[in-house]
């Protein structure tokens, strides 16, 4: 009976004579194992490879990364954040793992790290994330006395995104609703009426649905908010089947995984020909809709969970000054106010001049 070893990577290659051969590696990118799969020799070679991998060389970047993985700064992150961090930590290990700590502290190392980031310049968001993770590893190392200086501080960003006009319009919503499954449509309604982040929406349980509101414990900020339930959101929730602990599920009635949801959402957007807005833009759209309804900043923040300062900054810099509908709403409110009282009107100068001209001298 052949034992399946965790992490073994298999590659099928074609030889010069056209035949195929399978090669085995201890893990993707790891050392090749030449012994026969399933044999004692294969298992021994695999065990040796794993053992050498776990042995962290002291005094190197490997050691700093290992200490970062064990730190509260890493373990306290959400599962999705840790998953993303691990991808870039492996990249850093492959590129700089054996770099001595003395070299990591050298000011010239900043240039080396910058050149590494520049190799990813065609995907600037990836490049920025990689730099951020590297800087965070060195920041924790410096804070704990392992290095004296963090040469990656204030590294700047390659990716620049202007999301000020990235709002879900009525046309976006109509097109999405025409092709989306009931499960994805419920996700859109929840996002648009609560202003919460994707991760918090995917995990909110039915037990958080109260008669007066929907409770959220925000994973990113730790804020706890209760979003009042209006008629539109209540109808959507009451019409949704309760097939799982979580409100949002896939079509099999199972809780969404973050990857599964993103894939399904992207496919629905592609089908609806929606490429200029993202799911996260529903959060900003919720802020704008609340502002258009006449809500004050503290009222908006109470629903979305933003701090007052952040909510005000979002409205001022990214939304309010660029949405003509807000100007129209403001003017309509003023007109209604003017009609509700007797406005002080200045006499027409032209009419006055005509009267003066007609009066006999």
Residue 348 has pLDDT above 80, yes or no: no
Q: What tokens does 348 get?
A: 């027409």
Beta-sheet strand order (sheet of 20-25): 9-14, 20-25, 32-33
Residue 327 has pLDDT above 80, yes or no: no
Name the helix (H) or strand (E) containing 33.
strand 32-33
pTM value is 0.57
| For residues 221-234, average pLDDT | 86
Condensed to tens digits (0 to 9), the pLDDT of residues 262-320 reads 999 999 999 999 998 999 999 888 888 888 777 888 888 888 887 777 777 667 755 55
Residue 336 has pLDDT above 80, yes or no: no
pLDDT on residue 344? 47
Q: What is the per-residue DSSP string for 322-351?
A: G-HHHHHHHHHHHHHHHHTS----PPPHHH
Q: Using alpha carbons, select from 164, 192, 196 the residue that is nearest to residue 177.
A: 192
Residue with tokens 């952040």: 310
Q: Using alpha carbons, select from 194, 68, 79, 78 the residue that is nearest to residue 132.
A: 68
Condensed to tens digits (0 to 9), the pLDDT of residues 64-98 reads 999 999 999 998 887 778 888 999 999 999 899 98
Q: How far is the C-alpha of 255 from the C-alpha of 230, rounded, in Å?
A: 25
What b-and-e string marks burial along 242-258, b requiring 16 or more CB atoms within 10 Å of the CB?
A: eebebbbbbeeeebbeb
| For residues 245-268, average pLDDT | 94
More confident residue, 179 or 54: 179
pLDDT on residue 241? 94
Q: What is the mean pLDDT of the chain?
A: 84
């Amino acid at each position: 009976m052949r034992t399946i070893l965790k992490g073994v990577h298999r590659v099928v290659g074609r030889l010069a004579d056209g035949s195929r051969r399978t090669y085995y590696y201890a893990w993707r990118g790891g050392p090749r194992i030449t012994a026969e799969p399933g044999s004692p020799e294969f298992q021994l070679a695999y065990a040796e490879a794993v053992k050498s991998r776990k042995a962290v060389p002291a005094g190197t970047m490997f050691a700093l990364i290992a200490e970062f993985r064990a730190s509260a700064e890493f373990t306290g992150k959400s599962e999705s954040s840790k998953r993303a961090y691990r991808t870039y930590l492996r990249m850093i290990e492959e590129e700089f793992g054996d770099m001595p700590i003395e070299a990591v502290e050298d000011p010239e190392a900043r240039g080396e790290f910058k050149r590494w980031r520049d190799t990813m310049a065609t995907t600037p968001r990836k490049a920025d994330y990689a730099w951020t993770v590297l800087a965070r590893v060195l920041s924790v190392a410096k804070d704990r006395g392992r290095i004296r200086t963090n040469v990656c501080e204030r590294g700047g960003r390659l990716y620049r995104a202007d999301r000020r006009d990235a709002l879900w319009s009525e046309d976006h919503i109509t097109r999405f609703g025409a092709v989306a499954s009931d499960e994805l449509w419920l996700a859109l309604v929840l996002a648009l009426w609560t202003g919460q982040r994707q991760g918090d929406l995917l995990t909110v349980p039915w037990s958080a649905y109260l008669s007066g509101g929907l409770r959220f414990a925000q994973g990113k900020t730790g804020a706890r908010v209760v979003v009042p339930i209006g008629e539109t959101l209540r109808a959507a929730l009451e019409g949704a089947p309760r097939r799982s602990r979580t409100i949002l599920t896939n079509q099999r009635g199972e809780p969404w995984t973050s990857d599964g949801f993103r894939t399904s959402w992207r496919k629905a957007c592609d089908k609806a020909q929606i490429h200029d807005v993202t799911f996260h833009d529903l959060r900003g759209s919720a802020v704008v809709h609340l502002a258009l309804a006449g809500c004050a900043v503290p009222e908006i923040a109470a629903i979305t969970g933003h701090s007052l300062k952040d909510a005000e900054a979002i409205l001022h810099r990214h939304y309010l000054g660029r949405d003509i509908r807000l100007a129209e709403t403001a003017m309509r409110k003023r007109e209604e106010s003017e009609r509700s009282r007797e406005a002080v009107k200045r006499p027409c100068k032209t009419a006055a001049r005509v009267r003066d001209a007609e009066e006999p001298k």
